[in-house]
Amino acid sequence: MKAKMTLHREFSIGETDKRIYGSFIEHLGRAVYTGIYEPGHPEADEKGFRKDVIKLVKDLDVPLVRYPGGNFVSGYNWEDGIGPVDKRPMRLDLAWGTKESNKVGINEFAQWAKKANTDVMMAVNLGTRDAEAARNIVEYCNFPKGSYWSDLRRSHGVQDPHNYKLWCLGNEMDGPWQICHRTADEYGRVAAEAAKVMKWTDPSIELVACGSSNARMPTFGSWEAEMLDHVYDLVDYVSLHIYFGNHESDTPNFLGRSLEMDNFIKTVAGICDLVKARKHSKKIVNLSFDEWNVWYHSNNADKQVEKWIEAPPILEDIYNMEDALVAGCMLITLLKNADRVKVACLAQLVNVIAPIMTVPGGNSWRQSIYYPFMDASLFGRGTVLRCPVTADKYDSKEYTDIPYIETVAVHNEGNNEIAIFAVNRNLKENLELEAGISGFGDCKVIEHRSLFNNDLKAANSAKEEKVKPVIQNGAKIEGLVGSKKLSVLLPPASWNVIRLK
């Protein structure tokens, strides 16, 4: 099977915002406790943070981590997590039916984020709480000194403000499962008032309004339009969330799911622009895809887990080869929409639907989805190129016209490197990709790395890494300087990054 693409220096979709390689840590399952934080573990540092986990996070180069939830945030009293640790309350977390000790709170998470070389995207509780708690947490985190909350922070040993720049106005408020779910109108009003006082407290912050929890919500579309009517002038981004599953083990259909993600992005961008037009506004509201991943493997097991315990092992999906392909297609989709998607968070980062897993008291390991995320994060920064592609297509149970190849290219002007990311969706055949490359001078292949396994259900574990990248030989570039032709073979059902310089 063959595919052709064209890369030209001048054909640009837009610049990547590095924050599209964000991730997410929620107080959920073992993400925090026995995930990033495990005092007494042989790898724990003086604060109790696992150094082995920090190393794996740093290797991914994650610029931003959303915190502290997720559904958790809609019942969270952020004040429970500050001050002397031994005085912090044990609370019931109604979102996940667990207990929260509050041993890790805002300031501990800030310490972890610094060590992991990442920034924090904070979320405020607009479920059980409102504008008052939201403006206070901004004051606690960002106000330098000389006010009640900023001085309280200083009395907790944090002299300099955290200066968090990106804030979510609640989480999935359209979902009936959310603690104190609201209608679009109710949410729009509370989000608008919270946004006002948060920005009055710190005018430098950016705000994300809750969009739909997924594109299949009955209120999808009307939710965005109605709530934006209240908050359009006050917010900078609308959030999108999506999780894909393969319950019927229909791999061709599963691999087509990123088309749904692309459609979701384009529809929400369209609604933002509709509200912009209605308001005769010049302002563009962009998108924050702050939860995306595969999530379904753990659904049944989670129903058996005892309630009201601390840090239970829930949402511990074990990802296989085909999940890595879907994650790769989702990353390519985010890149192809770089003109509107400015923030994105792989949900989540450690233990909970995550690329990084830990064994309590034991080792940490990389899931299959770790690798496409790492490749995209390390090499997918710069100008995203609009690359016309000619390829065969197929239909599946839910989708039509799925191209056998999902691909995009990013030009990093800083080091003059081009990275082509490509997924071969053909489960049986190699795909011969031919790319015409113009306007980049003389370029050579630096590396072609692939991720594949004949067994699409193969997965890594604490003991064995069955899905890991392989260096390929054989990619070649021919032609004259300024107009070159790349030929490369993509193995069946594979994720690939081809780096040129």
In which element (H, E) is residue 374 found?
helix 370-379
Q: For the beta carbon of residue 200, count every other beta carbon within 10 angstroms.
A: 10
Active site residues: 172, 291
* Rounded CA separation 209/271 (Å): 13
Minimum separation from the CB atom of position 214 to ligand AHR (A): 8
Residues paired with 58 in a beta bridge: none
Rg (CA), the chain: 23
Residue 7 in tokens: 């890369």
For residue 125, state whether it binds ligand AHR (rule: CB under 6 A). no
Should residue 239 be labelled a site residue for ligand AHR when binding is judged by CB under 6 A? no
- Which one of 11-19, 45-53, 66-74, 358-366 is the stretch in contact with ligand AHR (CB under 6 A)? 66-74
Candidates 347, 409, 420, 500; binder of ligand AHR (CB under 6 A) is 347
**Which residue, 129 or 411, has its beta carbon nearer to ligand AHR?**
129
Minimum distance, C-beta of residue 473 to ligand AHR, in the bound complex (Å): 39
Asked if 170 is part of the footprint of ligand AHR (rule: CB under 6 A), the reply reads no
Contact between 291 and ligand AHR by CB under 6 A: the answer reads: yes
Q: Which of 79, 172 has the CB closer to ligand AHR?
A: 172
Q: Which of residues 81-100 bind ligand AHR (CB under 6 A)?
A: none
CA-CA-CA-CA torsion sign (394, 485, 417, 55): positive
Pick the stretch among 38-46, 65-73, 268-276, 414-422 that binds ligand AHR (CB under 6 A).
65-73
Residue holding tokens 């729009």? 188
Nearest approach, Cβ of 381 to ligand AHR (angstroms)?
25
Mapped onto helix, strand or coil, the DSSP state of residue 483 is strand
The answer to whether residue 26 forms part of the interface with ligand AHR (CB under 6 A) is yes
Whether the Cβ atoms of residue 258 and residue 326 lie closer than 8 Å to each other: yes
How many Å apart are CA 356 and CA 369, to the nearest integer? 9
Which residues, including other chains, have CB under 8 Å from residue 37's CB and lie 6 or more apart? 48, 49, 50, 103, 104, 108, 112
Nearer to ligand AHR by Cβ, of 302 and 465: the residue is 302
Nearer to ligand AHR, 311 or 347 (CB): 347
Q: Which stretch binds ligand AHR (CB under 6 A): 63-71, 197-205, 361-369, 420-428?
A: 63-71
Residue sitting closest to ligand AHR (CB): 70
Is there binding between residue 348 and ligand AHR (CB under 6 A)?
Answer: yes
Q: Give the side-chain half-sphere CA count within 13 A for 465.
A: 15
Identify which range of 68-76, 127-135, 181-189, 463-471 contacts ligand AHR by CB under 6 A: 68-76
C-alpha span between 491 and 470 (Å, rounded) = 11
Q: How far is the CB of 349 from ligand AHR (least distance, A)?
A: 10
**Number of chain positions touching ligand AHR (CB under 6 A):** 10
- Neighbouring C-beta atoms of residue 223, cutoff 10 Å: 24
The CB-of-251 to ligand AHR minimum distance in angstroms stands at 24
Question: Phi, psi (5° rounding) for residue 201?
Answer: -70, -40
Contact 258, 325 (CB under 8 A): no
Return d(Cα 493, Cα 406) in angstroms, integer.
11
Instruction: Give the shortest CB-245-to-ligand AHR separation in angstroms.
Output: 13
Nearest to 215 by CA among 265, 178, 179: 265
341 vs 419 by CB, closer to ligand AHR: 341
**Closer residue to ligand AHR, CB minimum distance, 71 or 142:** 71
Q: 171 vs 358, which CB is nearer to ligand AHR? A: 171
Q: Which two tokens stand for residue 185?
A: 């109108």
- 70 in contact with ligand AHR (CB under 6 A): yes
Q: Rounded distance, CA 382 to CA 461, Å?
A: 34
Which 198-237 positions form the footprint of ligand AHR (CB under 6 A)?
Answer: 213
**Positions in the binding site for ligand AHR (CB under 6 A):** 26, 69-71, 171-172, 213, 291, 347-348
